[in-house]
Amino acid sequence: MSSKKPRKVYPQEALVATFAKHSISSPSTFLPDQWSSGREPADMIIVIGRALFMFNMKDSKAWLKGVAEENLRQARDRIAEWKLGRQIRGKNEWQSFAVAWDDIDYIHVVSVIDGPHAACLDHPALEQNMDEKVCLCTTLTSDVLRELVVRAGGARDLITLCVSIKGRGILPTQIVKDELANRHVNLIQKAKETFPEAPTSGLRDPHTREPISWFEAYMVSARLLRAGLHADPHSTQLSDLSWNETIPAAAFISQCVRRMEGIRLSPMRSAAFGEQAKYRVVVGSIDAVKVNPSKFRPISEQEGSYFTLLVMVTPAFPNDLLLFNDPPKVLATEMMLQALRG
């Protein structure tokens, strides 16, 4: 009896799968369909508002700059073809995409390289003869990109990472990974200092079985990041968030939940997070929320928040609910790339 040979999983498929599982920008990430010419626009695409991230990947034993140039040349060619009237189409778990050239104002070209000579490097867009819509051009290794994503980083965290290597020449993978990890850890430490919480919650890590805090529970399970992810019309607002918004919000929620445990009608607490991608978090016992579920909605709308994240504390585990406001006219991702345009 013959067994069916498992289908080969290509590197770009594996990377997209990692994005879909971990990244805050996963609702906006997809594998593009082939054009009629048989060519793919890229190996992976992220679209957030009028900003597009184009990923080209290569695994090669050749020298770094030669492989990077091949990725960048492919991006130039596909951008030129796209500009002539083709659309970049594809779909993911949540939605379908059909992106025309005129739908996009800002492009980040990301060359992803694996191999013995792989490293990280910035490429000034003007020197690469890129279209004027290209604001940032970077080569990263897949290990660096994966490090970002498994920490639930999104498109804006990717931009921050790529800006940090500008003008520094060729950087080894480990240096960039360490800097990325340090930034993430420092943000977590700052959030914990701002919203201190008792060390344990009665919860245990599913792998180590060690006691963990509510903050760790939120970060491990990414409850904050995944809440309402299947809400199609609002995926852009969620994809636009970064560690700067999600980490302090998780710390605030965990502090509130810890204080409200066992209190049937605790006062509702609220705070806004983020300067550009702003949203409001409201935490209360489920009974308190039932009494006045829309108490903070007018405040959220008035301050221009993307949405309100309502966290209801129950005897079992907190429940999340997203209340969306009108989408912003300009997204934080767009603003970051626009500021980098040469």
- pLDDT tens digit string along 250-302? 889 888 888 887 666 677 888 999 887 788 888 888 777 777 766 777 777 77
| Reported confidence tier of residue 162, pLDDT bands at 50, 70, 90 | very high
The per-residue pLDDT for 17 is 80
Higher pLDDT: 275 or 242? It is: 242
Indicate the pairing of strand 106-114 with strand 51-59.
Answer: parallel
**Residue percentage of the chain with pLDDT more than 70:** 86
* 182-191: Cβ within 8 A, 24+ apart: 183/243, 184/151, 184/153, 184/243, 187/243, 187/244, 187/247, 187/248, 188/219, 188/247, 188/251, 190/248, 191/215, 191/247, 191/248, 191/250, 191/251
- pLDDT tens digit string along 193-230? 988 876 556 677 666 777 777 777 766 545 455 544 44
The per-residue pLDDT for 44 is 93
The per-residue pLDDT for 6 is 56
Helices 173-194 and 155-164 sit at what angle, rounded to 10 degrees?
A: 120
From edge to edge, which strands make up the β-sheet containing 29-32?
Answer: 96-99, 88-91, 29-32, 44-48, 51-59, 106-114, 134-141, 121-122
pLDDT exceeds cutoff 70 at 114: yes
The per-residue pLDDT for 72 is 92
User: What is the DSSP track for 49-61?
Assistant: TTEEEEEEEEE-S
Higher pLDDT: 290 or 180? It is: 180
Q: What is the mean pLDDT of the chain?
A: 83
The per-residue pLDDT for 170 is 92
| Reported confidence tier of residue 92, pLDDT bands at 50, 70, 90 | confident
pLDDT exceeds cutoff 60 at 232: no
For residue 329, give the 3-state DSSP assignment.
Answer: coil
Which of 18-32, 174-188, 254-268 comes out lowest in average pLDDT?
254-268
> Can you list the alpha helix ranges (DSSP code H) found in the chain?
11-22, 64-83, 142-150, 155-164, 173-194, 214-221, 223-226, 235-239, 243-260, 286-291, 297-302, 332-340
The per-residue pLDDT for 265 is 67
Estimate the share of the chain in helix, then strand, then coil, as percent rounded to the nearest 5.
40, 20, 35
Architecture of domain 11-184: 3-Layer(aba) Sandwich (3.40)
The per-residue pLDDT for 107 is 97
For residues 112 and 117, give the distance between their C-alpha atoms in angstroms, rounded to a whole number.
12
The per-residue pLDDT for 207 is 64
Contact criterion met (CB below 8 Å) for 268 and 288: yes
- pLDDT tens digit string along 32-50? 999 987 889 999 999 999 9
For the chain, give every domain's residue range: 11-184, 197-324
| Reported confidence tier of residue 148, pLDDT bands at 50, 70, 90 | very high
pLDDT exceeds cutoff 50 at 1: no
Fill in the amino acid letter for 152: A
Higher pLDDT: 20 or 77? It is: 77
| Reported confidence tier of residue 182, pLDDT bands at 50, 70, 90 | very high
Global pTM reads 0.89
